[in-house]
Structure 1
Amino acid sequence: MSVLDLARPEIRTLQPYSSARMEAGGGQIMLNANESAWQPVGDMGLGCNRYPDPQPAALVQALAQLYGVKHEQLWVGRGSDEAIDLLVRAFCRAGADAILIQPPTFGMYAVSARIQNAAVIEVPLKADFSVDAQALLAAVTPAVKLIFLCTPNNPSGRSIPRADIEHLAAQLAGRALVVVDEAYVEFSDQPSVANLIDRYENLAVLRTLSKAWALAGARIGSLLAHPDVIALIRRIMPPYPLPLPCVAAALAELAPAGQATARENVAIVREQRAIMRSALTRIPGVREVMPSDANFLAVRFDDAGTVYQRLLQAGIVVRDIRRYRQLEDALRITMGTPEENARVLTVLSEARA
């Protein structure tokens, strides 16, 4: 059975839109796309008067090398959010198919499904925020086409063991596409599962440059998957998903100097995460600082609402995650600079003085 048998049949046979950039390569005089012949003010040589390559070869090559996959196993778009949305649209028939998630988890999986009118089946994480693999497998029905696994999990910060992911991919072969969201994997000791794609054609991986690579504003995310899945996504992607300035920013960050800086910053975050976890446990009113493999800490408080407001009054914005199941007393604190983190500790300590 091909992984494409899980996709919507009408998408498999869809005649994709053919943009001007897809139909022809470059030339000396470009008169095929109804573009302006003049570069805009402040263009700085980017050529923003021209439509960009739908899948810029240099960026695809750089990301494929970074993630250790072949270029035909990678699609790049506007953040992981766009990849999630396109996967749901490609695999889930409105009113008929479903996705499976493990709350508490990243909210866009369910949002994308509901926009598509696909059902959302929930198998809650265990009390320690680990995945209940047995319950997950038992909940999979023929309607389930996509299973989203977030590791490290947002908002808890806990990772899913590689062995569990491989077990689920093997058990669900021919039944569902297992989508592993690794937005925070650079901050974890656990390596990516991207090297399992060749072994399991029903395994896909989401990666992003928004977190460890400091490009949240550029919106560059990747889908790593079997070439047939990538080709399917390319059928339904927008004609020109990647703005030229964003591509330029990504290529600069992925150059040797950019990679070196990013890795230095990741090391600082990991160090600060340990410092903050230790310090927060000693502050009165803190019930628990949950272990995290991401660039944030989920912290339980005696009175999370009051703590949130005190931090806000001090000009510090953290994430209120009390709406999530099992986290009704928690706030999520992203690791900032050492100075910013020290300020958080000062405000929390002063509030209890």
Structure 2
Amino acid sequence: MTAAEPDLRHHGDAEVRADGLGLVDLAVNVRTGTPPLWLRERLAATLGELAAYPDQTAARAAVAARHGRPTDEVLLTSGAAEAFVLLARVLTSRHVAVVHPQFTEPEAALRDAGHEVHRVLLSPEDGFRLGAVPEEADLVVLGNPTNPTSVLHPAAAVAALARPGRTLVVDEAFMDTVPGERESLAAVRDLPGRVVVLRSLTKTWGLAGLRIGYVLGPAPLVAALGAAQPLWPVSTPALTAAEACSTPAALAEAEEAAAELGLWRAHLLKGLAGFPSVRVYGEPAASFVLVRLPGAAAVRERLREHGFAVRRGDTFPGLGEEWLRIAVRDEATTDRFLDALAAAITTA
């Protein structure tokens, strides 16, 4: 891909797997030390049930109760990524607007399905604050908090994008990294038009390899998306995870993890502030931080030599080669990273 047309299919795991160097992973935003033991034990217990076809009843009910919605407004999917594909295939939108910089898979899925996509580019100088989208857009897609900017948009600003005749898709894959999920629209059901919220269990619970996510939205649209799925799209272990991670005990654990993450993020930001050439735009709120610095591509390669993988930013529309995304980790790991960053900037 050219610099003018980013590689929408590039993901952070490529930064870690390349060359088999055993790098410290600051490129993928999955919480370390996960899945927790109790969840691994629940998943292992399902191995004796694999002869039976998956039954979504209990998992759908648990997710619905978690968000205060009827079960017919919940669709379980093979990760949130499947939801992007289903929406792209089912919706017959004429004017599609995708708010960038954001996770690139929604746009890739829309283009694969034949949609023409209008990019709404948010400005770093404005802190990536959510702005206007074309009034004629009948499908609007954005993330909250947004990958890779880590900006958390106010729920009121996101809700203001809802319109009669418009489908508003909000990717909340990282919302459970925010204490109290305070700007979520997951439980909101009274906005005009169709509002669809996507969630993932990948990040907080360390389940990227299991593939489990879900859609929250109006029942007729959820039914249409479900009709486009293959039979038994979500495995029995994944359904068990969806049910287990929706319990009050699991939600309390996620809340505690989000609070700890906030302390770790503050530590990282304080360290980054000590580098005159490194700049953070907006107020990061999720499990990663986006930075801009001269020679970022060379710095990224130098960091690999020092044992750290970070995410390149130039594959996100609206960014370029001077951007890097850094996952938030514990303070000891962050301190080692900051030492490596100092060396990488000096020698780049």
TM-score per shorter chain, which class?
A: 0.7 to 0.9
Work out whether residues 92 and 98 of structure 1, in 8 Å CA contact, stay in contact via their aligned partners in 2: no
Report the Cα offset of residue 316 of structure 1.
1.3
Residue identity matched to 2:84? I
Matched, 1:102 2:99: yes
DSSP-derived class of the 1:153 partner: coil
Report the Cα offset of residue 209 of structure 1.
0.8
Work out whether residues 290 and 298 of structure 1, in 8 Å CA contact, stay in contact via their aligned partners in 2: no
CA distance in 1, matches of 2:207, 2:258: 13
Match of 2:289 among 278, 294, 297: 297
Report the Cα offset of residue 318 of structure 1.
0.9
CA distance in 2, matches of 1:90, 1:44: 32
Report the Cα offset of residue 60 of structure 1.
1.0
DSSP-derived class of the 2:49 partner: coil
Residue identity matched to 1:234? G
- Point out the more displaced range, 271-280 or 122-131: 122-131
DSSP-derived class of the 1:148 partner: strand
Which residue of structure 2 aligns with residue 160 of structure 1?
A: 153
Q: How does 1:41-80 map to 2 (within 5 A)?
A: 45-53=47-55, 56-80=56-80
| CA deviation profile, 1:161-216 (whole Å, cap 9, x unmatched) | 222222221xx212x20111111112336331123223435111111111123322
Residue identity matched to 1:66? R
Match of 1:345 among 309, 334, 338: 338
CA distance in 2, matches of 1:43, 1:151: 34
DSSP-derived class of the 1:51 partner: coil
Superposition RMSD in Å: 2.3
Report the Cα offset of residue 240 of structure 1.
0.8
Work out whether residues 100 and 148 of structure 1, in 8 Å CA contact, stay in contact via their aligned partners in 2: yes
- Point out the more displaced range, 247-256 or 289-298: 247-256
CA distance in 1, matches of 2:206, 2:282: 24
Q: How does 1:79-228 map to 2 (within 5 A)?
A: 79-92=79-92, 97-127=94-124, 128=126, 129-133=128-132, 136-138=133-135, 140=136, 144-169=137-162, 172-174=163-165, 176-188=166-178, 190-228=182-220
CA distance in 1, matches of 2:73, 2:81: 18
Match of 2:257 among 228, 247, 265: 265
Closer, same or farther in 2 for the Cα pair 1:227/1:148, shift >3 Å?
Answer: same
Question: Quick check: which has more Rg, 1 or 2?
Answer: 1
Residue identity matched to 1:126? S
| CA deviation profile, 1:265-313 (whole Å, cap 9, x unmatched) | 2222111111101111103532346521111000112221122112211
Report the Cα offset of residue 83 of structure 1.
0.9
| CA deviation profile, 1:87-118 (whole Å, cap 9, x unmatched) | 1111137xxx3421122221111111111111
Work out whether residues 178 and 258 of structure 2, in 8 Å CA contact, stay in contact via their aligned partners in 1: no
Residue identity matched to 1:275? H
Closer, same or farther in 2 for the Cα pair 1:188/1:254, shift >3 Å?
Answer: closer
Closer, same or farther in 2 for the Cα pair 1:310/1:229, shift >3 Å?
Answer: same
CA distance in 1, matches of 2:85, 2:178: 26
CA distance in 2, matches of 1:222, 1:45: 22
Work out whether residues 286 and 300 of structure 1, in 8 Å CA contact, stay in contact via their aligned partners in 2: yes
Normalised by the size of structure 1, how large is the TM-score? 0.77
Q: Structure 2, unaligned stretches of length 5 or more?
A: 1-43
Closer, same or farther in 2 for the Cα pair 1:162/1:287, shift >3 Å?
Answer: closer
Closer, same or farther in 2 for the Cα pair 1:59/1:247, shift >3 Å?
Answer: same
CA distance in 1, matches of 2:50, 2:187: 36
Work out whether residues 126 and 132 of structure 1, in 8 Å CA contact, stay in contact via their aligned partners in 2: no
Residue identity matched to 1:215? L
Identity over aligned pairs, percent: 31
Work out whether residues 46 and 244 of structure 1, in 8 Å CA contact, stay in contact via their aligned partners in 2: no
DSSP-derived class of the 1:196 partner: coil
| CA deviation profile, 1:53-96 (whole Å, cap 9, x unmatched) | 2xx11111221122232211111111111111111111137xxx
CA distance in 1, matches of 2:279, 2:319: 14
- Between 1 and 2, higher relative CO (CA 8 Å, sep ≥ 6) is seen in 2
Residue identity matched to 2:97? L
Residue identity matched to 1:307? V
Q: Between Structure 1 and Structure 2, how many residues are aligned? A: 298
Work out whether residues 102 and 143 of structure 2, in 8 Å CA contact, stay in contact via their aligned partners in 1: yes
Q: Structure 1, unaligned stretches of length 5 or more?
A: 1-41
Closer, same or farther in 2 for the Cα pair 1:162/1:191, shift >3 Å?
Answer: closer
CA distance in 1, matches of 2:278, 2:223: 49
